[in-house]
Chain A
C-alpha cells in the first residue's frame, strides 16, 4: 500500500505542496490502482518508512525525515519497522473485515468528497434576464433599501478634562458663543476640545455614528430636525456635543437602475447556491424514499405524494 497516497489526501498536505514531492506526485498520477493484487505482502523499505515517519509526525517534509531515517541505528530502524508493519497489517485486516463500514468518521469523509464535487459544480449559471433581475429586486427590496443619512458638524466637551464649573456649564458657554458668533459649518474646528474621531459627519448612516459618538447620541440625533442653529448639548460616549445638524435624507427605496449591479451579483450568487441544491436534490431523486411514520418536507408543503 502506498502510504504516500494517504499522505497526499491529508488536509495538511497542502503544505507539502511547498516541499519537494515532485516525483511522488508524478508517480501518483501516472500509476493505476494496484491495491488488491498483493494484499498479503507488506513491503518494508526506506520509502515506506520515511513516509510512515512523516505521517506519524503529521509533518510533511521528505528531506527532514529522510535525514532522520538515515541517522537511525539498526535497532531503531527495526523498532520503526515493527510499528509500521503492525499498523499496516491492522489497517488491512480492518479493511478485510469490513470495519470501515458503519464507521461515522469514514462515512463523513466520503460525504465530504461528494460535497466537494457539488461545490465545484458549474459556477457560471445561466445569465438572468432584465425581467428576472427586476423581479428579484422587487421581491428583495429590503436588501436594497437605503438607510437615512445625516450630515452634521459638532463641538466636543471632553468628560475627562477639567472645565471651570463643570462640563455642562462649559457646554452652555460654548453654545452661547457659537450662536452669538453665528458659527458656520466650517468654523467648528476653532471651538471645544479635541474629539478622538471625526469633526464632520457627512451623509453618514446612523450605525457608524453610534459607533463613534455613542448609541445615546445617535438616538437623540435620529429624533432631531436639521436646521441652521446650533443644538445641544447632547451626551455621547466621551462627553457632551453641540451640533450643527444641516441635512438629513430619509430612508428610501432606490430605483432599480441605481442598484442593478448589486442585484445582478445577488441573483448570480443565489443561482450558484441553488445549482448546488438542485444537484443534491437530483442525487436524492435517484433513490426510492420510504417514509415510515415520518413526514417528508414535501408532504408538509402539501405538494408531495406522501
Chain B
C-alpha cells in the first residue's frame, strides 16, 4: 500500500464511497444505510507518563493517528518502518490526563514549565534519569489524587492550567490534522485514571463530541481533580452547560476494579438512587469489555454454567496483587444488577452497550494475533521474553491482542460516530472484524434470516442493538434477527449465542445462554449441549485452516422462556473457531514449549453485541 491510499483512504474510502450507492438501493429511506466502521477508542502515546517510561519516547499522538490511517511510521523500540495492515475508520488518542505530556514538554524545554522552580527541578531529575525515575518522581504526586498540602506548590507549578493547556493543545492539533471526514474520523479524548482503595481501577476514557475549537474550550478533567466518578459526571455536565460540548465516559478494566466498578452503592456507600442511576446512564452508555488487560464480560467462577467464560481472564490488580472474582467487576453481572436497581428505583444505571479497544501504550493500535505489537513498547523486542528479568505485573504474554469497537453509523464523521456511540449501535470484538447485525422485535418471521438485505428487514420491523423493547403483544416473545459474518482475514465462525439475563418475580437475577446458530450441521446432544467445533491449529507451525466453521450465520431466534412481566436483556456472543494465540506464535519463533508462555496455545476470538432490553409495561 502506498501513502496515497491514506489520502483517499484504503478500506475507509471504500466504505464512504459506498454510501451514495447503498442509499440508492436501500428499501425505503430508513437507517438501513448504516455502514460498519472499525475503530479504536483507547490508545496511549508518548504523551502518557506510563507509556513514556516503558520506552515509548517517540510515538506522538500525530504518529498514532497516522499509523491508524495506514501511513508507515518509524516503529518504537525497533529500527524500522511499519504499516498497519488494515487502516481504521475512526480513532481517539486517549492519553492519561494526569500530568499529560509532561516528559515531552521537558524534552522540548517548555518555557512555562521551566519558569517555575518545580519545573526546573523536574527537568534536573529528568536529565539525570530520563527513562524512568527522574521526573516521574515529581509526577507520581500527580497521579496519586489530590496532593498533600506540602505538595500543592509543586502541583501548582508542574500541573498548572497553562501546562495542561499546552499538552492538550498538542492532542487537539494531532486530532484535527488527521480528520478526513468520510474517510478517517478522529475524536478528542483522554483517560481519567482514577485508582482508589489501594490499586482498584476506576479508569474511564472520556470522548468529546466537538470540533477543535470546542476541544480548546476546556482542559481534560483528571483524577488529580477528583477520584470520584460522580465528580467526573458533574464536571462533564457543567462543561457541557458552559461550552455546549457533549461527552461520554467509558469505563474499562472493570475486571480489576476490586468489585468497585459496578457496585450496588455509590461512592459514599449509599444504595444507588434514581438520581445516581440517571446520571450514570446518561454519561456512561458504554463499557469497554475487552482490551489488552483481559476481558470483563464474565468470570468463569461467577458464570459457572458458561463453558466459554474462561477467556482472557485477568486476576491481578494494577499493582500486581491478586484479585478474586467479584460480581462488581463484570459486565454481565452488572447488566443483571442494573435490572435489580431499576426494579427498586425505576432507573437502570447499568444499561450500557459494549465496545472493545486496545489500551495499547505503544501508540500502535494492533489487535491481530499474528501482527501484535504488545501493550508496552518494552514488550516489542521478542528477546525480552527470554533474556533478562521478566516484568511481573504485565508480562507480554499475559496481555491480549484485543480489542476493537465496531460502529453502525450513517456516516464516518465525528457527528455520525458519536451518534452511534450514544445510541449504543456499536459492539465489541476481541480483534477480528466480525460483522454483526442484531435486531429485536415482535414481527419477524423465520424467513427473514434469508433476506438478501438483513438490515432493511431489521430496521423496518425491529430495533437495532442498543435499543429497548416493551409491551410484548399477547402470546408473543421477543425475537432477535441476527446475522454474523466472519472477518475475511481471520477464522471461520463456530457459533452464535444469545445471552439472556432477567429478574424473576422475587427480584432474583438469572442468566441463560442459548446456542442459536452454528456451523457444520452439528447436532445438540440430549442435554441440549452443542459439541465443540474442533481445532485445526498446528502447534508446530502456528497455521490453521478454515476447513471447519461457517463464513456467515443468520437466524431469527425467539425467546422460549419469556415472561412479559419480567425485565430482561439479550446480547449476542459470536465465537470464531480456535486460532493461534500470539504467545503460541512467539513460542514457535523462539523454539520453546508453548507451556512456558503460561498461556493457552489457541483462543476462540469473539464478538459481543450491545444488548437489547425488554422492560415490562408498568
Footprint of B on A, CB under 8 Å? 5, 8-26, 28-29, 57-61, 63-64, 105, 108, 112-113, 115-117, 119-124, 142-147, 160, 185-186, 188-189, 193-194, 196-205, 207-208, 211-212, 237-238, 254, 258-259, 261-262, 265-266, 269, 272-273
Given contacts A196-B485, A205-B10, A258-B7, contact A273 B551 (CB under 8 A): no
Q: Which residues of A contact B137 (CB under 8 A)?
A: 8, 25, 28-29
Determine if B7 and A12 form an interchain contact, defined as CB atoms under 8 angstroms apart.
Answer: no
B 252-275 to A, binary, CB cutoff 8 A, 1 in contact else 0: 000000000000000000000000
Determine if A105 and B388 form an interchain contact, defined as CB atoms under 8 angstroms apart.
Answer: yes
Q: Which residues of A contact B319 (CB under 8 A)?
A: 15-16, 18-19, 59-61, 64
Question: What CA separation (Å) do A193 and B554 show in the bound complex?
Answer: 14
Question: What CA separation (Å) do A142 and B55 show in the bound complex?
Answer: 31
Q: Interface segment, B123-131, B276-284, B558-566, B598-606?
A: B123-131
Q: Which residues of B contact A5 (CB under 8 A)?
A: 133
Given contacts A61-B198, A113-B129, contact A18 B7 (CB under 8 A): no
Q: Which residues of A contact B122 (CB under 8 A)?
A: 29
Tell me, yes or no, whether B6 is within 8 Å of chain A by CB: yes
Determine if B452 and A202 form an interchain contact, defined as CB atoms under 8 angstroms apart.
Answer: no
Q: Interface segment, B147-155, B306-314, B423-431, B509-517?
A: B147-155
Q: Which residues of A contact B86 (CB under 8 A)?
A: 208, 211
Please list 10 pairs of residues, one from A and one from B, whose beta carbons are closer than 8 Å in the complex, sorted by A's number: A5-B133, A13-B132, A17-B143, A23-B148, A26-B141, A115-B131, A120-B103, A194-B454, A211-B489, A266-B71
Q: Which residues of B contact A204 (CB under 8 A)?
A: 14, 17
Residue of A19, A146, A189, A203 near B144 (CB, 8 A) is: A19
Q: Which residues of A contact B6 (CB under 8 A)?
A: 262
Question: What CA separation (Å) do A227 and B388 show in the bound complex?
Answer: 62
Q: Distance (Å) between the CB of A277 and the closest chain B CB?
A: 10
Closest to B6 in A: A262
Q: Interface segment, B46-54, B207-215, B524-532?
A: B46-54
Q: Which residues of A contact B54 (CB under 8 A)?
A: 11, 14
Tell me, yes or no, whether B121 is within 8 Å of chain A by CB: yes
Closest to B148 in A: A22
Question: What CA separation (Å) do A205 and B394 show in the bound complex?
Answer: 39
Question: What CA separation (Å) do A205 and B321 show in the bound complex?
Answer: 49
Residue of A21, A115, A205 near B140 (CB, 8 A) is: A21
Given contacts A58-B392, A116-B57, 7 further A-B contacts (CB under 8 A): A15-B199, A20-B144, A22-B151, A29-B137, A186-B25, A197-B485, A208-B10
Tell me, yes or no, whether B22 is within 8 Å of chain A by CB: yes
Q: Distance (Å) between the CB of A214 and the closest chain B CB?
A: 9
Q: Which residues of A contact B2 (CB under 8 A)?
A: 142-147
Q: Distance (Å) between the CB of A154 and the closest chain B CB?
A: 13
> Interface size of B by Cβ–Cβ distance < 8 Å?
93
Given contacts A18-B318, A143-B2, A265-B66, contact A119 B58 (CB under 8 A): yes
B 188-229 to A, binary, CB cutoff 8 A, 1 in contact else 0: 000001010011000000000000000000000000000000
Decide if the interface of chain A is mainly helix, strand, loop or mixed: helix
Residue of A208, A238, A265 near B71 (CB, 8 A) is: A265
Determine if B321 and A59 form an interchain contact, defined as CB atoms under 8 angstroms apart.
Answer: yes
Question: What CA separation (Å) do A113 and B7 show in the bound complex?
Answer: 38
Question: What CA separation (Å) do A18 and B131 show in the bound complex?
Answer: 18
Question: What CA separation (Å) do A12 and B142 show in the bound complex?
Answer: 17
Closest to A140 in B: B3
Tell me, yes or no, whether B443 is within 8 Å of chain A by CB: no
Given contacts A202-B17, A203-B17, contact A61 B74 (CB under 8 A): no
Q: Which residues of B contact A28 (CB under 8 A)?
A: 133, 137
Residue of B74, B133, B136 near A269 (CB, 8 A) is: B74
Q: Which of B11-58 contact A (CB under 8 A)?
A: 11, 13-14, 17-18, 21-22, 24-25, 49-50, 53-55, 57-58
Question: What CA separation (Å) do A64 and B136 show in the bound complex?
Answer: 22
Tell me, yes or no, whether B145 is within 8 Å of chain A by CB: yes
Question: What CA separation (Å) do A108 and B199 show in the bound complex?
Answer: 31
Question: What CA separation (Å) do A214 and B545 show in the bound complex?
Answer: 15
Question: What CA separation (Å) do A300 and B124 show in the bound complex?
Answer: 41
Tell me, yes or no, whether B139 is within 8 Å of chain A by CB: yes
Residue of B71, B143, B378, B450 near A11 (CB, 8 A) is: B378
